[in-house]
Amino acid sequence: MLEVEHAADLKVYEGKEVGVSDWYTVTQEQIDKFADATGDHQWIHVDVERAKREMPGGKTIAHGWLTLSLVPRLASTLYRVKHRSRGINYGANRVRFTGMVPAGSRIR
């Protein structure tokens, strides 16, 4: 795991790979809870039976925003900032959801 003293010390790693995170399984239960939290109950996310018939691979898929929201969890296995009191999202540029994350998938 990469350790730096201050968040500003991460600047030298911008655009570079710093490692590979641990695996994380995206469950249907998590997808359902995200749907409840956001109000996005589109069938491709929550209707398991319909997905079996109509989706490639026969599974529901995670919301793109759910997948993106897992970045802090995954990043926490890659680096640590020793002197940090809090972290605040600044934003994201050019985010695209180019692939599906079927329920039960392991991501990193």
Domains of the chain in sequence order? 19-85+99-107 (3.10.129.10)
Distances from the Cα of 30 to the Cα of 4, 39, 100, angstroms = 32, 14, 15
Average pLDDT over all residues of the chain? 95
Whether 86 shows a pLDDT value over 90: the answer reads no
More confident: 7 or 30: 30
Integer-rounded Cα radius of gyration of the chain: 17
Q: What's the rounded Cα separation, in Å, for the pair 103 and 7?
A: 34
CB 26 within 8 Å of CB 105: yes
Kindly report, residue by residue over 30-85, the tens digit of the pLDDT: 999 999 999 999 999 999 999 999 999 999 999 999 999 999 999 999 999 999 88
Question: What's the pTM value of the predicted model, to 2 decimals?
Answer: 0.86
